[in-house]
Amino acid sequence: MPSTAPPKTSALFRHIEQLQGDAPWGAFLDAGTGVNSALWSSALATDRWCAVTGSAGHGAQVQGRVGARLRAQDRLIVGNWTDPELLAGEGFDTVLADYLVGAVEGFSPYFQPQLFARLRPSVKRRLYVVGLDPYVVGEAPTKAARVVRDIGRLRDAVLLLAGETPYREFPAEWVVNALQTSGYRVTSGRRFANRYRQTWVNGQLDMAARRLARFADPQLAAAMENSIEALRERSLDLCRRDDGLAHGHDYVVAAEPA
């Protein structure tokens, strides 16, 4: 399933590069790879590069985009962090968990509390966690916030009715606490304000629309299609009037082994 995150990755990765400074990347692990993180991380001056994805389909997409630049020492692995044999005994100087906390729900529901402890043996020097504060729960004080929340809720409802497990994002405070209780020292944390554009609106609602064919009840599918298109019209109108939907944050948290 495509990431629910908005297109802020370039700013987030630039921030990670600033945090890294002159320190070498060394052996690099992209622990939950996708096209965006693979394109960025495989272009860094690493000694070796390894990427893990839980989806063979995602792996094929990544291979198609970065395969030509991979060296003999680089690897792309389809695996699940619930597997104790995955990269057992292998350490990396730099580990990136790019929206991995939220994505885990789609592959290993409820595993998030164990995720950072599971990654800990692989982290020799630095772990960077990129995430998205949840927007389908909590207060929605503005029109933009309500529209973003409504899109997320409708998308997730359709995915559940189509037999899929939606991603489940966790806030930055949860990540900091989970890192500290899993053997890390948090060295930096920063939020980045989001402004969702028309591309995001259409991407999320198109994702939902494609799942309607899996509904067992055609009347329910038709009703959901009407709801999707009504929400699309309302959201795009607000996007045009307000130059996007300003709501919520991405975050980057940096940590080191304690």
Q: List pLDDT tens digits, range 60-80.
A: 999 999 999 999 999 999 999
β-sheet bridge partners, residue 169: none
| Confidence at residue 138, expressed as pLDDT on a 0 to 100 scale | 83
| Confidence at residue 229, expressed as pLDDT on a 0 to 100 scale | 98
Residue 2 CB contacts under 8 Å (≥ 6 apart), including other chains: 203, 207
SS3 content of the chain, % helix, strand, coil (to 5): 45, 20, 30
Q: Is 221 helix (H, G, I), strand (E, B) or coil?
A: helix
Give the rounded percent of residues in the chain with a pLDDT score beyond 70: 97
Mean pLDDT (the chain, rounded):
95
1 confidence band (pLDDT: 50, 70, 90): very low
Whether residue 126 is predicted with pLDDT greater than 90 in this model: the reply is yes
| Confidence at residue 147, expressed as pLDDT on a 0 to 100 scale | 97
The CATH number of 9-136+167-203+248-257 is: 3.40.50.150
Give the C-alpha separation, 57 to 76, whole Å.
12
Token pair, residue 57, equals: 């389909």
4 confidence band (pLDDT: 50, 70, 90): very low
Give the C-alpha separation, 105 to 174, whole Å.
15
Contact (Cβ atoms closer than 8 angstroms) between residue 238 and residue 159? no
Task: Indicate whether this model's pTM tops 0.75.
Answer: yes
Whether residue 15 is predicted with pLDDT greater than 80 in this model: the reply is yes
Q: Greater confidence, 180 or 139?
A: 180
Give the rounded percent of residues in the chain with a pLDDT score beyond 90: 95
Give the C-alpha separation, 169 to 247, whole Å.
15
Question: How distant, in Å, are the alpha carbons of 5, 60, 82, 192 from that of 132?
Answer: 7, 25, 22, 9
Q: List pLDDT tens digits, range 213-257.
A: 999 999 999 999 999 999 999 999 999 999 999 999 999 999 999
Residues 112-132 have a mean pLDDT of 98
Structural domain spans, the chain: 9-136+167-203+248-257
| Confidence at residue 9, expressed as pLDDT on a 0 to 100 scale | 53
